[in-house]
Amino acid sequence: MNESKNNLNLTSRREFIKNTGKLAAASALAGVALPHVHAAENHTLQVALIGCGGRGSGAARNALSVKKVPIKLVAMADVFEHRLKASYEGISKEHAEHMDVPEDRKFIGFDAYKKAMDCLKPGDIAIFTTPLAFRWVHFTYAIEKKLNVFMEKPLTADGPTSRRMIKLAEEATAKNLKVGVGLMSRHSRGLQELQQRIQHGELGDIVLLRGYRMSGPGGSCFSEKWPGQPSELLWQIARFHSFIWASGGLFNDFYIHHVDHLCWMKNAWPVKAQALGGRHYRQSPEGVTFVDQNFDSYTVEYTFADGGRLIMDGRCIPGCNDIYSSYAHGSKGMAVVSSGGDCGFPSRIYKSQNADSSQLLWTSKVAPDQRDPYQNEWNELVDAILNDKPYNEVERGVKASLVSSMGRMAAHTGQEITLDQMLNSDHEYAPGVDKFTMESPAPLLAGDNGKYPIPMPGIVKNREY
């Protein structure tokens, strides 16, 4: 068979879906003497940014805002020179004193990630905010260089890269590297307290979880035909939300936060999913045809081992009722998990199944300096580096990515998909991504009509396209 069962022999399904609040490998190594991969000798942490889009620039700003130790951005890498330039100028306006990126440490191209990480010393930090297809490639090199890492979600879109990333996570832990993943809901103080209250039984048995992200189109989720420039590969990278190989599609990139934090409330990962979705409008208001791979609405019913359910509803259609929140229902009452957005304040607990103010039992209250989960996750990563604490969020990030992909695949095939099926799937969406050059063809090519392969539920049943 493929690498999944011959080489990895991960964990049993039961072990895979059970609570993994702390990475098992890290727990197993707690108390074991491991080499301390520390910051540079001058006690300044150096950072390299690989992927200079909006999220990368935001992550760099959070890194440079950490107060625990001097931090400098010393290298940047991207495949687009204009994005690197815009990112550099934007970050410099806020953090000029933390910027040390001369022209010879600004790198362009598919090998730019190596050049940027080569500017760092063991114990420094590499930020990965490129499309997810490149995550395992960059992580492999960071481990080789003994670098700590912050990587943006999602981490994977298919089975082969998920298995690869879990194996790399084990290697990173064995080298005592600290790795953060951009699932910032787990660093929201309100959600942390709510999760503890749920685990202590304040809602009783959790039987239903609901997540909603329903709004107009966002990011690059819908695309018109490739205009011919830049190359088809670079154009797909620039519009990564439109292509499953690059982002897991809009389902993974947009909905993973709700999927992740609701599974956290349940303290479990679902074992299977059934779903539906559709492409209601495939033209812009001006009548231009869209060619991306996304549905514009999704409904996924996830099932946990104990029979509990998680319903995730997503819609990217303008002019409809917008809902962007999440909820947990138990035998003793219900909770508003996120009031708005991916992890918006305040979280609340009610003693009935309705969010009725007369039934309110608890509302989260968070200190002003703890309200930003993006900054919290960076503060905690740097604290782990400075104080040599076990810290590796990759396995959990892969599991959240897999569960998201399981729901997406269920909708795209019209079949019930299990977590085992998703994990052990042979379909790798961007094989050879580690060998891409500026002249490489895209992993997905348009047909003569300019359109790309799309999911066909009930017709194509064993793969997404």
Tens-digit pLDDT profile for residues 259-270: 999 999 999 999
Contacts for 374 with CB less than 8 Å, ≥ 6 apart: 58, 59, 62, 184, 187
What percentage of the chain carries pLDDT values higher than 70? 91
pLDDT value at position 285? 74
Three-state DSSP at 396 gives helix
Residue 32 has pLDDT above 50, yes or no: no
Residues 232 and 269 in one domain: yes
Residue 284: band (very low, low, confident or very high) from pLDDT cuts 50, 70, 90: confident
pLDDT value at position 36? 53
Domain at 145, CATH number = 3.40.50.720
Residues 319 and 387 in one domain: no
Tens-digit pLDDT profile for residues 145-194: 999 999 999 999 999 999 999 999 999 999 999 999 999 999 999 999 99
Residues 26 and 141 in one domain: yes
How many C-beta atoms lie closer than 10 Å to residue 354's C-beta?
10
The span from the CA of 142 to the CA of 122, in Å, is 9
How many C-beta atoms lie closer than 10 Å to residue 121's C-beta?
18
Asked, for residue 299, whether it belongs to a domain, the answer is yes
Asked, for residue 173, whether it belongs to a domain, the answer is yes
Asked, for residue 131, whether it belongs to a domain, the answer is yes
Q: What is the crossing angle of helices 81-95 and 54-64, to 10°?
A: 30
To which residue do tokens 């033209």 refer?
283
Ordered DSSP codes for 178-245: -EEES-GGGG-HHHHHHHHHHHTTTT-SEEEEEEEEEES--TT-S-----S-S-HHHHHHHTGGG-HH
Tens-digit pLDDT profile for residues 211-242: 999 999 999 999 999 999 999 999 999 999 99
Of 80, 154, 87, 64, give the one whose Cα is nearest residue 112: 80
The span from the CA of 434 to the CA of 166, in Å, is 18
The pLDDT of 6-12, averaged and rounded, is 41
Residues 277 and 324 in one domain: yes
> Which pTM was predicted?
0.91
Residue 18 has pLDDT above 50, yes or no: no
pLDDT value at position 414? 98
pLDDT value at position 243? 98
Tens-digit pLDDT profile for residues 61-82: 999 999 999 999 999 999 999 9
Q: Is the dihedral of CA 43, 44, 50, 54 positive or negative?
A: positive
Residues 360 and 417 in one domain: yes
The pLDDT of 1-27, averaged and rounded, is 42
Residue 324 has pLDDT above 80, yes or no: yes
Residue 54: band (very low, low, confident or very high) from pLDDT cuts 50, 70, 90: very high
Asked, for residue 254, whether it belongs to a domain, the answer is yes
Asked, for residue 237, whether it belongs to a domain, the answer is yes
**146: domain range?**
3-185+374-392
Of 263, 244, 252, give the one whose Cα is nearest residue 311: 263
Count structural domains, the chain: 2
The span from the CA of 129 to the CA of 50, in Å, is 6
What's the count of helices (H) and strands (E) in the chain, helices before strands?
Answer: 15, 15
DSSP state at residue 342:
S
Asked, for residue 445, whether it belongs to a domain, the answer is no
